[in-house]
């Protein structure tokens, strides 16, 4: 059964109210291909002598079609960086842009709308709605944006469902799925609206090694085949080895910006960071 055959009933099933923001809608990217960037980004917690600097004057660009892994020891600032770039947390100073729009200047309503339309999320805990079936969860970002997918978008969703192996699970609830299947649904939801960038927070953290590799392969394929930008926070050298680019953070600063590396090389460099702390 195709998505178009079930769309109206599925969309109706999620039309009962406003729900948490998990996805977004497609938008145009700047001509230079930069989909997200920060300049002189600083994040501090507290004030005065007890202030803690989580991010210390970071400048960074993420480009279309780039799969970036963000690594670092505990407390290095990697999760804080992702949350600020995704508009989930506020910077203390500096500039944060999504699709060329300075989000530090937006009020909460405008920021929520921009995030919903330009950003996708894949979480470690999946964050699927248990009352919705697979198709309802995949279509949820469209409901949040108050619209139905176009014919082109429906064809894209059909393609995602087939590529992710979800065709025979469309009417299943999350409780009826394995962890790997739930994460596949989360990936389909994040990619359904073709956001400018997908932020993935430890997407394989709750999966076994084989399923984790499958999920990482799907994210890599989304980047290479569909030009999707992905920024993934991970502590796992194997997971990071799937990325085209690896950013290493320590004490709130980027200490290395590398191309693709083998897991052993990543683990060795992470150990060197830990030894210098």
Fold type of domain 3-276: Rossmann fold (3.40.50)
Supply angle C-alpha 24, 29, 35, rounded to 5.
Answer: 80
Rounded distance between C-alpha atoms, residue 87 and residue 116, angstroms: 10
173-204 pLDDT per residue, tens: 999 999 889 988 998 999 898 888 999 988 88
Question: Average pLDDT, whole number, for the chain?
Answer: 85
Rounded distance between C-alpha atoms, residue 203 and residue 260, angstroms: 19
Main-chain dihedrals φ then ψ at residue 241, nearest 5 degrees? -70, -15
Q: Encoding tokens for residue 163?
A: 């590529």
49-79 pLDDT per residue, tens: 889 999 999 999 999 999 999 999 988 999 9
Confidence of residue 3 (pLDDT cuts 50, 70, 90): low
To which residue do tokens 């690896």 refer? Answer: 246
Rounded distance between C-alpha atoms, residue 127 and residue 196, angstroms: 21
Q: What is the value of pTM for the model shown?
A: 0.81
Q: Encoding tokens for residue 232?
A: 């993934």
């Amino acid at each position: 059964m195709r998505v178009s055959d079930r769309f109206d009933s599925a969309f109706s099933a999620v039309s009962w109210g406003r729900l948490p923001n998990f996805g977004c809608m497609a938008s145009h990217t700047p001509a230079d291909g930069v989909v997200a960037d920060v300049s002189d980004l600083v994040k501090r917690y507290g004030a005065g002598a007890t202030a803690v600097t989580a991010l210390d004057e970071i400048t960074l660009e993420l480009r279309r079609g780039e799969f970036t892994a963000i690594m670092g020891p505990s407390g290095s600032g990697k999760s804080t960086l992702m949350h600020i770039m995704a508009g989930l947390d506020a910077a203390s100073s500096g500039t944060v842009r999504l699709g060329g729009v300075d989000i530090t200047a937006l009020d909460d309503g405008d920021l929520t709308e921009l995030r919903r339309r330009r950003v996708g999320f894949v979480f470690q805990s999946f964050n699927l709605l248990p009352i919705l079936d697979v198709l309802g969860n995949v279509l949820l970002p469209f409901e949040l944006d108050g619209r139905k997918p176009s014919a082109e978008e429906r064809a894209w969703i059909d393609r995602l469902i087939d590529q992710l192996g979800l065709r025979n699970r469309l009417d299943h609830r999350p409780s009826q799925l394995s962890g790997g299947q739930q994460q596949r649904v989360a990936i389909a939801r994040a990619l359904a609206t073709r956001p400018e960038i997908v932020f993935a927070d430890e997407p394989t953290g709750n999966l076994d090694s084989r399923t984790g590799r499958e999920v990482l392969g799907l994210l890599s394929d989304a980047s290479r085949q569909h030009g999707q930008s992905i920024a993934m926070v991970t502590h796992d050298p194997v997971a990071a080895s799937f990325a085209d680019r690896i950013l290493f953070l320590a004490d709130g600063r980027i200490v290395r910006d590398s191309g693709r590396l083998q897991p052993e090389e990543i683990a060795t460099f992470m150990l060197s960071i830990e030894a210098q702390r």
